[in-house]
Amino acid sequence: MDYTTACTQLVVVLAVCVTVCNTQTESVKFAICRLSSTSGSQPIEGTIYLKQKISSYGNGTSEGTEIRVYLKGFGQSSAERLRGFHVHDSGDLGRACLDAGAHYNPFNNTHGGPADIERHVGDLGNIKVTIDGTVSQTIIDQQVSLVGPYSVINRAFVVHSDTDDLGKGSFNDSLTTGHAGTRIGCCVIVESTQAANAAIPNPSMAPTNHRASYKVLPLAALTILVYSMLSYF
């Protein structure tokens, strides 16, 4: 077998591999969290929608989990405010959210921000409360998952009274809770359907904390280019 023939066969194999990778079937999993005005110490309420693409192997894709937060009842203010927002270990909302336990932290890490390597799975940083007392925000997170052994299904979202310092503060609890204050509202994350998530008020809202996902398509283009070059030999 000469050099050109061997290279041609290699290119064909690469092309087949690319085709298989690009045709892996994906499904989508949905979850929802309905926050009641009586759940915590303040009368905030609303809905949090979650969506995650699931690969054919049963795990989440590199695109992360989309979390859309729609809340109201924070009260009006002269300026925007940041409020700590986390996934907590338990779906028990008793004692005004205290029974939800600590931040969801299956790997025993210290507290950090959502972009930090060292963080709790439940560390989602802060949500931004507008001057009219509402939140309308989308988060894309790489560690929160709706499938697998570390799924957040049946755990709780908790909203806090103060700003999360993302583990960068000098308080005694900066590396455990971000010094985010009391628990003013909470809800249990439960599995949902596409129909329920279709009711999202503003599905075109631009996400924050987004990380671009890896695409296989450029490899296919490279394969075609190499094959074209070999055709000249």
* DSSP secondary structure, 46-89, as one string: EEEEEEEEE-TTSSEEEEEEEEEEEEE-S---SS-EEEEEEEES
Is residue 183 flagged as an active site residue?
Answer: yes
179 catalytically annotated? no
CA dihedral 211, 158, 42, 92 (to 10 degrees): 160
The active-site residue out of 68, 111, 119, 155 is: 111
Question: Is 160 an annotated catalytic residue?
Answer: yes
Residue among 86, 119, 155, 179 flagged as catalytic: 86
Which pair of structure tokens corresponds to residue 81?
A: 């405010």
> In whole angstroms, what is the distance from residue 91 CA to residue 154 CA?
5
Rounded to two decimals, what is the model's pTM? Answer: 0.76
Token pair 């074209």 is found at 228
pLDDT for res 195:
66
Catalytic annotation, pick one of 68, 81, 83, 103 = 103
Residue of 89, 123, 164, 165 marked active site: 123
Determine whether 210 is an active site residue.
Answer: no
Res 78: pLDDT:
80
**Structural fold of domain 25-213:** Immunoglobulin-like (2.60.40)
- Gap between the Cα atoms of 139 and 71, Å rounded: 14
141 a catalytic residue:
no
Mean pLDDT by 10 residues, the chain (233 residues): 52 43 71 96 96 80 92 91 98 97 98 97 98 97 96 98 97 98 98 75 49 39 45 49
